Amino acid sequence: MMNQKNDSIESLATASLMTVASELFSNHHIITLPKGAKYTFQTIIMTLLHAATSVNNSLESASNDLKLKSFLTKIPSADTIFNYINCNNVEYILSSFRAMNRDIFKSMNIKGKVHDIAIDFHNIPFYGDENTPLISGIKPKNGSAWGYSYCTLDIIGDVKLTLDVIAINGFNKNYFDLITFLFERLEKMQIKVGTVYLDKEFCNDDTISALTKLNINFVIAAKRNPKIMGILDNFKKENGPASTVFEYNFNKNGTYFNLVATHDEEKGYILFATNKDVKSIEIFEKSIPEEYRKRWNIETGYRVKNNFKIRTCTKSPVARTLFFVIQCTLHNILNMLKSVLEITAYELKSLINEDIIKVIRYGLKSLYIIPFKLFLNYLNMYNKTRKRDLRNQLLRI
Q: Phi then psi for 57, rounded to 5 degrees?
A: -90, 25
- CB-neighbour burial class of residue 225 (10 A; exposed 0-12, middle 13-18, buried 19+): exposed
pLDDT at residue 228 in the model: 92
pLDDT at residue 2 in the model: 37
- Which residue ranges make up each domain of the chain? 1-90+316-395, 92-305
Average pLDDT value for residue range 82-104: 93
Considering only residues 365 and 37, tell me which one the structure prediction assigns the higher pLDDT: 37
Considering only residues 128 and 179, tell me which one the structure prediction assigns the higher pLDDT: 179
pLDDT at residue 126 in the model: 77
Average pLDDT value for residue range 60-84: 91
In this structure, are strands 257-264 and 217-221 parallel, antiparallel, or unpaired? unpaired
Number of residues in the chain: 397
Average pLDDT value for residue range 368-394: 55
Q: Cβ neighbours of residue 218 under 8 Å, at least 6 residues apart?
A: 195, 196, 197, 198, 208, 211, 273, 274, 275
Q: What's the whole-model pTM score?
A: 0.83
Q: Phi then psi for 168, rounded to 5 degrees?
A: -105, 140
pLDDT band at 7 (very low <50, low <70, confident <90, very high): very low
pLDDT band at 371 (very low <50, low <70, confident <90, very high): low
Considering only residues 112 and 114, tell me which one the structure prediction assigns the higher pLDDT: 114
Instruction: Give the whole-angstrom CA distance, residue 208 versus residue 228.
Output: 17
pLDDT at residue 3 in the model: 45
pLDDT at residue 242 in the model: 87
Q: Which CATH superfamily is domain 92-305 in?
A: Transposase Inhibitor Protein From Tn5; Chain A, domain 1 (3.90.350.10)
pLDDT at residue 15 in the model: 52
pLDDT at residue 1 in the model: 40
For the chain, what is the total number of helices (H) and then of strands (E)? 14, 9
